[in-house]
Chain A
Amino acid sequence: MKLAPVDYTILAVYFAFVLGIGWMLRKKMSTSGDFLLSGRSVPVWITSLAFIAANLGAQELVGMSASGAKYGIMTAHFYWIGAIPAILFVGIFMMPFYYGSKARSVPEYLKMRYDEKTRTYNAFSFAVMTIFSSGISMYALGKLLQLVLGWDFNMSILVSAAIVLVYTFLGGLTSAIYNEVLQFLLIVAGFSPLAILAVAKAGGWHGIQTRLGAMTLAGGMSGKVMTHAWTYMGSPQSNPMGVELFGMVAGLGFVLSFGYWCTNFLVIQRAMAADSMNSARRTPLIGAFPKMFLPFIVIVPGIAAVALANMHVGYSIPLDNGAPNYNLVITTLMAKFYPAGMLGVGLTGLVASFMSGMAGNVTAFNTVWTYDIYQTYIRKTAPDRHYLNVGRATTVVGVVLSIGAAYVATRYDNIMDLLQLVFGFVNAPLFATFLLGMFWKRGTGHAAFSGLVTGTVAASLTWCLTVAEGKGGILGTVHTFPSAMAQSFWIALVAFTSCFLVTLVVSLATKPRPEKDLEGLVYGLTKIPEDRGSWYQRPAPLAVTVIAILLVLNFWFA
């Protein structure tokens, strides 16, 4: 693929604007709270879009179109059942505790609610995880640009990291959030024409159904399996994802998605930067509206690509050593459907998604490092100025460590797979800890900690004892899963359940905390603010609207 001067101009304009936003915000950064928490003053439309954008990294965009090509419209469950219920739950039920407790981070909430060791466990695992996920996504983008455009791997990594560094260093969290919104809008602008053009070329949704029908029938599955999200989930053998209804709804829809959206500081931090309790609660709810429609621009092009490849119109799925490489679907589609000009916008959108993912990781890392690790273990009391400087220095360190992680990924492919697996084990039980912490005043610190450790161990054991697609089972094979995805859903379920039970039992055996210590932290001991105003200013009616639209979408594509 070759870029024209106009494409480079568009990329340059984008760089100028993100840096300009950082530059314009630099004067507002006078306290550590301004820099790391945005001074809790960001308008709700901005936090809502940032809430969604921080999760929409380059890996996500590339991966989702690839899954669309592999699994069809079922992939949309990652945006529907696998996101929306959790997003509504965090806004309606959990935000009063996060925002109302005045905690500055998710680990700090754990410290207030439980104890120091639970916080430290969470803070350290989160800090390491953000650095590595930022590094992995940097590596993925560098490889992609190298493969598609022939850009130098080191150059793309260093230039994009440098730009993220400059604007987060200047404007802190506010700058990251503002840019995430710009990046989100650009992703929508750069990707939605592709969805329209590719679907139109493939004969519309109906044409796609016909073409993919012939293909899946030949492969031994129903002809409608790629274009129906629910119908073929009765057994793992009847859909390409290899999952069944219970694993999907309980594993993905409950444990994994609640574990991510309700406890991951990367996204929660965006809501906590909002200017009021009402805005903080509405942040996830308003974000849910664009989230539900993202499948149409990130997944549908992947589905259309498979149909196009069966039509002999001059498009084929790119091959890698003879096997289809679905990760290249989105960029090859752009090359075929976008002329010089729009191609620049599309690729800039891809670069933007990478930057918003990376800036999200870096700013979350910053806050957790400065408040939960540095202020807790290294220097407890210092003037605020000192923590502002630590925050700034951490930005540099965070970016440098991410670059380091990207190079580790280049060298040792397997280490990265292993790390992602381990992070999965650490994350899976978290939601049980928060659920019991927020809604059961009897829960104790020792219980939370032992629950988390048990959950992680149980998750690792499940992996060691089961096999899917030739992976796992290093201690023996008790069960074989039809797909790696089904395995990960079940690992999450085991981790959640064991953490929940252990926390419950140990809580009852340990000394409860006095109720006056738990005010503002637990349901029943916290004043839930009363909501006033029109329907769109109140969380509950907003949530009902989201559910109604979600139901329509799911019935439509059932």
Chain B
Amino acid sequence: MLDLRVPSGWFFTVLGLILLGMGIFAPDTRAALSDANVNLYSGLPMLLFGLFMLLMAWRASRRAS
């Protein structure tokens, strides 16, 4: 059976990279009511979460084989 941690891990890795990219290369993209670099701060945890899911899936598949 498909290990759901793989697609969801990749999904959040991609999402995190897009937001992180925006946060780093277009830091002036700000919303009307917030001075924070929202893309940077929300992209980072998404990327970490995605990588964590991939790591867990990789460990599980290594144990299975």
> Residues on A close to B: CB < 8 A?
6, 9-10, 13-14, 17, 20-21, 24-25, 28, 41, 46, 174, 178, 181-182, 185-186, 189, 193, 197, 201, 308, 313-315, 335-343, 345
Q: What's the Cα separation between A281 and B29 when bound, in Å?
A: 47
Which of A13, A21, A337 contacts B31 (CB under 8 A)? A337
Please state if A341 and B8 are interface contacts (CB–CB under 8 Å): no
Q: What's the Cα separation between A14 and B46 when bound, in Å?
A: 14
- For the complex, would chain B's binding face be called helix, strand, loop or mixed by DSSP majority? helix
Which of B7, B15, B34 contacts A21 (CB under 8 A)? B7
Please state if A17 and B29 are interface contacts (CB–CB under 8 Å): no
Name the CB-closest residue of A to B4. A178
Please state if A314 and B32 are interface contacts (CB–CB under 8 Å): yes
Residues of A within 8 A of B49 (CB): 185, 189
Minimal beta-carbon separation of A11 from chain B (angstroms): 11
> Residues on B close to A: CB < 8 A?
1-2, 4, 7-8, 10-12, 14-15, 18-19, 22-23, 29-34, 36, 38-39, 41-43, 46, 49
Minimal beta-carbon separation of B63 from chain A (angstroms): 15
Residues of B within 8 A of A21 (CB): 2, 4, 7
Please state if B18 and A336 are interface contacts (CB–CB under 8 Å): no
Q: What's the Cα separation between A46 and B7 when bound, in Å?
A: 13
Please state if B18 and A6 are interface contacts (CB–CB under 8 Å): yes
Name the CB-closest residue of A to B28. A339
Q: What's the Cα separation between A28 and B2 when bound, in Å?
A: 9
Please state if B38 and A181 are interface contacts (CB–CB under 8 Å): no
Q: What's the Cα separation between A315 and B7 when bound, in Å?
A: 38
Can you offer 12 A-B residue contacts whose CB atoms are under 8 A? A21-B7, A24-B2, A181-B8, A182-B8, A182-B11, A314-B33, A336-B31, A336-B32, A336-B34, A338-B38, A339-B22, A341-B18
Which of B2, B23, B29, B33 contacts A25 (CB under 8 A)? B2
Minimal beta-carbon separation of A170 from chain B (angstroms): 12
Minimal beta-carbon separation of B9 from chain A (angstroms): 10
Residues of B within 8 A of A338 (CB): 31, 38
Name the CB-closest residue of A to B36. A197
Q: What's the Cα separation between A339 and B1 when bound, in Å?
A: 38
Please state if B4 and A20 are interface contacts (CB–CB under 8 Å): no
- For the complex, would chain A's binding face be called helix, strand, loop or mixed by DSSP majority? helix
Which of B1, B18, B33 contacts A313 (CB under 8 A)? B33
Minimal beta-carbon separation of B1 from chain A (angstroms): 7
Q: What's the Cα separation between A14 and B2 when bound, in Å?
A: 18
The answer to whether residues A10 and B31 also contact, given A25-B2, A185-B12 and a CB cut-off of 8 A, is no
Please state if B11 and A13 are interface contacts (CB–CB under 8 Å): yes
Minimal beta-carbon separation of A341 from chain B (angstroms): 4
Which of B2, B8, B12, B29 contacts A339 (CB under 8 A)? B29
Minimal beta-carbon separation of A237 from chain B (angstroms): 35
Please state if A315 and B46 are interface contacts (CB–CB under 8 Å): no
Please state if B32 and A189 are interface contacts (CB–CB under 8 Å): no
Which of B8, B32, B33, B41 contacts A185 (CB under 8 A)? B8
The answer to whether residues A189 and B1 also contact, given A9-B18, A342-B39 and a CB cut-off of 8 A, is no
Q: What's the Cα separation between A313 and B31 when bound, in Å?
A: 13
Please state if A41 and B1 are interface contacts (CB–CB under 8 Å): yes
Q: What's the Cα separation between A8 and B19 when bound, in Å?
A: 13
Please state if B15 and A345 are interface contacts (CB–CB under 8 Å): yes
Give the one of B22, B29, B39, B43 with max A CB within 10 A: B39
Name the CB-closest residue of A to B2. A24
Q: What's the Cα separation between A193 and B33 when bound, in Å?
A: 13
Please state if A189 and B46 are interface contacts (CB–CB under 8 Å): yes
Q: What's the Cα separation between A51 and B7 when bound, in Å?
A: 20
* Other contacts beyond A335-B31, A341-B39, A345-B19: 7, CB < 8 A: A182-B11, A201-B34, A336-B31, A336-B32, A336-B33, A339-B34, A345-B42
Q: What's the Cα separation between A49 and B59 when bound, in Å?
A: 22
Please state if B12 and A340 are interface contacts (CB–CB under 8 Å): no
Please state if B7 and A189 are interface contacts (CB–CB under 8 Å): no
Q: What's the Cα separation between A181 and B2 when bound, in Å?
A: 14
